[in-house]
Structure 1
Amino acid sequence: MGFLLHKIQLNCLFTGSATELRLMVVGSSGSSQFQLTNTILGREEFSSDVTGISGSRKNTGELAGRPVAVINGPNIYDKDICQAKRKMELRRSKCLCIPGPHVFLVAFDKEKISPNTLNTPRLMKKSFGRHCLKHCMVLLAYDGNPEGAEVQKTDWHLKELIEKYGGRFHFFSKNWRDRSKDQELLQKIEMMVASLGGGYFSSRTFQKAEDCVKKEEKRLRKQRAAEIEKTWTDMEGLYTADELYNQKHAYTTNVGTEIRAKAEMDNAWLRTSLARGLGTGAVVGAVLGALFGSIEGPGGMVLYGTIGGAVGGSAGGTAQVAIDISWCLWVG
């Protein structure tokens, strides 16, 4: 039957429960998605001048008392990172959100809606799968004045944009300390997910991400097996039966959380991403060049990384591709 491109996991019903919501926050350009993350979490994870990030991040917290995980990747229109780096971070954002997001929150600045913004649904489908728009909600940032939280009759581009995302939208204040709309946002998210069957979005690539994270977790557990066994043995000499159980459980939970976090950030799927996208020769050459260049300091690393990438790239791609990857390895 092939891969199932659109799958609702009915075993993930959560409305009204304390189950963690996984929210993939996406922005086309600028600071909106990072301001939204601050607003959801009620704290400043990103400073007000952040307009883009080079690497994907996951932060956890609460929205109106509900546990949430908020995943941010680079802006989908970001031109400051090369294509290979952008593809790798798209994969990483999926790994951070497995088995899949309950909702995609697509953030825009209300005052900066343009005809170009109307292309974002196409990019969303290209990045996450053609059915992802059913799981999207438009989030519109406005400045302090509550009058900014309205759709005017003359806002044709804004109306058209919202319609492309199924008519689902919500306004949020750029001031993350304003908690007045938290409950309303949570209710909209829960109602939307419930209307879709109460589960999360998945696709072929999210399934790939989950498989690779699990394999990496298994590898890391095996790598740390001797350490864990020694720690358990040491605990047996320190605690009584009941205390020993609790200590072992707490230790095992902490190790599992640490291993999971490492596997989400680095696994075989991510490690092969750059090589597949740009050619092994370019990657190896750029890495070796960057290592030799480190003798000369940061400036030398960029210079020699570029030269090394160009040499290595002769077997795996053009000189320009090699230059791109050497820069990615340095700044990324």
Structure 2
Amino acid sequence: METDKPQRTTDGPGTERAAKETEAAAPAANHLPEISVVVLGWRWPGKSLTANTIMGREEFHLERAAEFCVKRQTEVQGRQVTVVDTPGWFSTQDTPPSYKEELVRGASLTPPGPHAFLLVIPVGMFTEVDRARIEEHVSLFGENVWKHTIVVFTWAEVLKKISIERYIRREGKDLQWVLEKCKRRYFVINNCIYGEHPQVGRLMERVEKMVAEEGGYYKPKEGGQEKKTLDENKNPAGELHNLGARPKQNSGLSLSKAMQVDSLSNQPDTPDY
């Protein structure tokens, strides 16, 4: 007679523990020793604050970020993180061509290219004009940029009991368009906390996950698409009035020239302007 033997099953505490260990090992497998991010967004509502939150201290100042890219480095949970803050764009006014060229130059400051673009969007009424402004400026980097973009929502505290998912649904097709472009990758951050910020580590994990899914660094498409886009968006000289801090002479650099210079120098930090 065949004796009864205990049957092995796929259920039980052992399997559950193994599943948890596998889940915990996944972030470690994607862990990058170095991460570089470029922060994009409007001029005022939270772009440079988000860059400071990642740094854990105030490194980026609004008056400097108004015209030039600024690069700083920090360490986040064992990773060397490079953050590039870029000139913000205006809500309704046209952005000067020199500002746009400086914006695009930000992608060349972390050769061979940034891992991620963090598109900062403040929580509030999101309109068709907002969508158009995002499309106008993000397109300067080429269509490939969306594969490396994460939307970062700021000022979510104003939602109180409303979830970010409900907010996204409520704002309708324009915000949905932005999120669909970056495969609905988004993150909510509280910029009222400096120092050891638990959200910063989770944001870096989100970047690592995106890199694992999309692969490597952002690379601009060949053929000078960025330069073409800049030429198409040039403004008449007369449109530079009433823009706050005025662009300085020769502050705009072409993307190809900037990438050559920065690739050769490969300095750990950009010079102060």
Structure 1 or 2, whichever has the larger Rg, is 1
Instruction: Give the stretch that moved more between structures: 126-135 or 108-117.
Output: 108-117
Query: Counterpart in 1 of 2:262?
Result: 213
TM-score by length of 1: 0.54
Query: Counterpart in 1 of 2:181?
Result: 164
Q: CA deviation at 1:165?
A: 2.4
Percent of pairs identical after alignment?
23
Query: Counterpart in 1 of 2:53?
Result: 39
8 Å Cα contact 2:74-2:80 kept in structure 1: yes
Q: CA deviation at 1:27?
A: 0.5
Partners in 1 of 2:163 and 2:65 — Cα distance? 24
- SS of residue paired to 1:16: coil
Q: CA deviation at 1:202?
A: 0.9
Partners in 2 of 1:42 and 1:130 — Cα distance? 31
1:176 and 2:187 matched:
no
TM-score by length of 2: 0.64
Partners in 2 of 1:137 and 1:42 — Cα distance? 20
- Select the residue among 138, 147, 150 that pairs with 1:137: 150
8 Å Cα contact 1:35-1:176 kept in structure 2: no
Query: Counterpart in 2 of 1:126?
Result: 139
Partners in 2 of 1:154 and 1:184 — Cα distance? 26
Partners in 2 of 1:120 and 1:98 — Cα distance? 27
Q: Deviations over 1:1-40 (max 9, x none)?
A: xxxxxxxxxxxxx93242x211010003423211110111
Count of residue pairs brought into register by the alignment: 208
8 Å Cα contact 1:142-1:148 kept in structure 2: no
Partners in 1 of 2:261 and 2:131 — Cα distance? 34
Q: CA deviation at 1:74?
A: 0.6
Over 3 Å counting, the alpha-carbon distance change for 1:91 and 1:163 in structure 2 is closer
8 Å Cα contact 2:109-2:262 kept in structure 1: no
Over 3 Å counting, the alpha-carbon distance change for 1:80 and 1:71 in structure 2 is farther
8 Å Cα contact 2:65-2:87 kept in structure 1: yes
Instruction: Provide structure 1 residue ranges, at least 5 long, that are not aligned to the other structure.
Output: 1-13, 218-255, 266-331
8 Å Cα contact 1:142-1:149 kept in structure 2: no
Instruction: Give the stretch that moved more between structures: 104-113 or 200-209.
Output: 200-209
Q: Could you tell me which amino acid in structure 1 is paired with residue 81 of structure 2?
A: V
- Select the residue among 5, 12, 15 that pairs with 2:30: 15
Q: CA deviation at 1:82?
A: 6.7
Partners in 2 of 1:110 and 1:209 — Cα distance? 34
8 Å Cα contact 1:149-1:171 kept in structure 2: no
Instruction: Give the stretch that moved more between structures: 35-44 or 108-117.
Output: 108-117
Instruction: Provide structure 2 residue ranges, at least 5 long, that are not aligned to the other structure.
Output: 1-28, 225-254
- Select the residue among 58, 76, 80 that pairs with 1:63: 76
Instruction: Give the stretch that moved more between structures: 83-92 or 35-44.
Output: 83-92
Q: Could you tell me which amino acid in structure 1 is paired with residue 83 of structure 2?
A: V
8 Å Cα contact 1:108-1:139 kept in structure 2: yes
Partners in 1 of 2:107 and 2:94 — Cα distance? 18
1:201 and 2:218 matched:
yes
User: What's the C-alpha RMSD, in Å, of the aligned pairs?
Assistant: 3.3
Over 3 Å counting, the alpha-carbon distance change for 1:79 and 1:142 in structure 2 is closer
Over 3 Å counting, the alpha-carbon distance change for 1:214 and 1:17 in structure 2 is closer
Over 3 Å counting, the alpha-carbon distance change for 1:112 and 1:55 in structure 2 is farther
- Select the residue among 92, 96, 107 that pairs with 2:120: 107
- SS of residue paired to 2:165: coil
Q: Deviations over 1:226-255 (max 9, x none)?
A: xxxxxxxxxxxxxxxxxxxxxxxxxxxxxx
Query: Counterpart in 1 of 2:171?
Result: 155
Q: Could you tell me which amino acid in structure 1 is paired with residue 179 of structure 2?
A: I
Over 3 Å counting, the alpha-carbon distance change for 1:122 and 1:213 in structure 2 is same
